[in-house]
Amino acid sequence: MPAVVSSALADELAVLGEFDAGACMNCGVCTAVCPLGLDLLPRRLLRHAVLGMTERVQEESEAVFSCLLCRACEANCPAGVHIAEDVRLLRRWLLGKWEEAH
Ligand code: SF4
Ligand code: SF4
């Protein structure tokens, strides 16, 4: 199924807190310094969230919950994105979706 882009995720995240990944310039520094070495985390994950690709983000929940919240990415982000807090918000959003479904 093709990915769907929507503003719904941004609206739902805004209810949970300040999701500031919209400031991301997609430079990739965060992914380069992340100790987990995942291609997805955090740059692509944030991009999918900003674009409102809800199904994609749900498919990527393992990466969301694998983040160490170490903030190495944040310390090097030229846009000052609060990446760890954004990951926390995505976790809360994913848990809410899980609760809705069970
Ligand atoms: S380092 Fe910051 S600006 Fe660059 S891709 Fe990561 S979140 Fe976006
Ligand atoms: S906070 Fe998460 S995404 Fe950022 S560098 Fe640490 S493990 Fe990677």
Best residue for ligand 1 mutational test, from 19, 20, 25, 36 (most atoms within 8 Å of Cβ): 25
2 located within any domain: no
Number of domains in the chain: 1
Q: How far is the CA of 41 from the centre of ligand 1 (A)?
A: 11
Please give the model's pTM, rounded to 2 decimal places.
0.94
76 located within any domain: yes
Average pLDDT over residues 63-89: 98
85 located within any domain: yes
93 located within any domain: yes
* Domain range enclosing 31: 8-101
**pLDDT tens per residue across span 13-72:** 999 999 999 999 999 999 999 999 999 999 999 999 999 999 999 999 999 999 999 999
Q: How far is the CA of 99 from the centre of ligand 1 (A)?
A: 30
Q: Which ligand is nearest to the CA of 91?
A: 2
Query: How remote is the C-alpha of 21 from its chain's centroid?
Result: 8
pLDDT at 19: 95
Structure tokens that stand for 24 in this block: 């991301």
